[in-house]
Amino acid sequence: MKTNKGPISVQQYHYDIADPDEEVKSEIQIALEHPELHDEDGKKVEETDGRIYQVVVPFDIHPGNSPFKISGMITQIVQLMDFHGHREDLTSKEVQQISREAIEYIETITYQVTAITLNHGVSLDFSAADSLEPNQHVKDLQEKKNKKD
């Protein structure tokens, strides 16, 4: 799917020292919100080229055997070119593709922060093999749509 992406915005990023024996956490949620965007004149932005969504990725992570944990929220505005459907029309794979850049940003920030705090960077890898799924709201919308069909 062709997209036009805006810059990534780090809404929150929190790093804490943690006991390496603490419970492992890998909570990443993906939400696609449809914001009402307005231009400089206050007019609603037209979506003739495709729907515009805000990718919202809250996360809470404590890698196994690691002396730190992170949490926060990353966002990005994305226009899905030539797509005029609704959130629930997107497959899990499409949602993963749309949100991949934001997920990679979490990996990059974490590597950079741990390079400073631990004197070596820690690589996180939330690959496509990991099960990153749309959040419950999107799943509910998909289920509702399937019942109509």
* Domain residue extents for the chain: 3-36+49-148
Dist. CA 30–CA 93, nearest whole Å:
12
Q: What is the pTM of this model?
A: 0.81
Do the beta carbons of residue 75 and residue 132 sit within 8 Å? no
Closest CA to 100 of 122, 127, 136, 77: 127
Query: Mind listing the pLDDT tens digit for each residue in 58-94?
Result: 999 999 999 999 999 999 999 999 999 999 999 999 9
3-36+49-148 has which fold?
Bacterial Protein-export protein SecB (3.10.420)
Query: Mind listing the pLDDT tens digit for each residue in 127-149?
Result: 754 444 444 544 555 566 567 65
Write down the pLDDT at residue 147: 72
Residues with Cβ within 8 Å of 4's Cβ and at least 6 positions away in sequence, in order, are 49, 50, 78, 79, 81
